[in-house]
Structure 1
Amino acid sequence: MSTPIENLTPEQVNAALAAGEILLVDVREPHEFAAERIAGAVNHPLSTLDPANLPTEAGKTVVLSCAGGVRSVTAANACQAAGIDIHHHLAGGLRAWVMAGLPTER
């Protein structure tokens, strides 16, 4: 049985990033990531997603993000189907992050 996907707010993700508690994995395409991204995020596109090759960091929870929250849920479901317990994502994606007034990199 899979773990329900946990929706994290931009504020929760921002605080967890600042505290060094999470690894933010952006599943958008490389050109989207290059145009604008959350500082500290790493890019691992959904189009070439291999859950076994997702980046990890010891002691950190992997949190997925995308543009609007759809691809990150798809990626989390794919991870769980492959037996990898990744179930956190940035609800609303980069759009919600920007709407919350949080900084991005270009």
Structure 2
Amino acid sequence: MVFGFGKPRHAEIGATELAALLDDGKAMVVDVREADEFAAGHIPGAVNMPLSTFQATRLPDAGGKKLVLNCLGGKRSAMALDKCAVAQAAVDTHLAGGFNAWASAGLPIKR
């Protein structure tokens, strides 16, 4: 919540909801973890754009799909969303609980 206005700063999507969007070809995931974390396991089809070098202007063209950011637990993806807001990029959603939530839900992991 920001200053008690009752609206979360960033939209969040749950792991099972994201999985359904991915299955329907309606979402694209950008993982903002570092390359070694990404290589150890990530959401299938995700694009790696580490927060350490993240630039909202370099986000991939999602071709009309919903762009969803993720990290390990949600903190870094929220930081990346802040950068997107500053750059006025049309991205406002991240995975609630991050990759940990995805893995805990038993969803597929690409290694």
Q: Tell me if TM exceeds 0.5.
A: yes
C-alpha RMSD of the superposition: 1.2
Larger radius of gyration: 2
Matched, 1:14 2:19: yes
Instruction: Choose which of 42, 45, 50 in structure 2 pairs with 1:40.
Output: 45
Equivalent position of 1:80 in the other structure:
85
Equivalent position of 2:100 in the other structure:
95
Q: Which whole-Å deviations, capped at 9, do the CAs of 1:32-86 have from their partners, x for residues lacking one?
A: 0001111011101110011101112211111000011111111011101111121
Report the number of matched residues. Answer: 104
Equivalent-residue separation in structure 2 for 1:58 and 1:46 (angstroms): 22
Q: Which whole-Å deviations, capped at 9, do the CAs of 1:9-37 have from their partners, x for residues lacking one?
A: 00011001111111100000001000111
Equivalent position of 2:3 in the other structure:
none
Moved over 6 A (4+): none
Equivalent-residue separation in structure 2 for 1:68 and 1:87 (angstroms): 17
TM-score by length of 1: 0.93
Q: Where does the alignment leave 5 or more consecutive residues of structure 2 unmatched?
A: 1-7
Identity %: 45
| Partner SS state of residue 94, structure 1 | helix
Equivalent position of 1:30 in the other structure:
35
Equivalent-residue separation in structure 2 for 1:86 and 1:76 (angstroms): 7
Equivalent position of 1:5 in the other structure:
10
Equivalent-residue separation in structure 1 for 2:54 and 2:75 (angstroms): 15
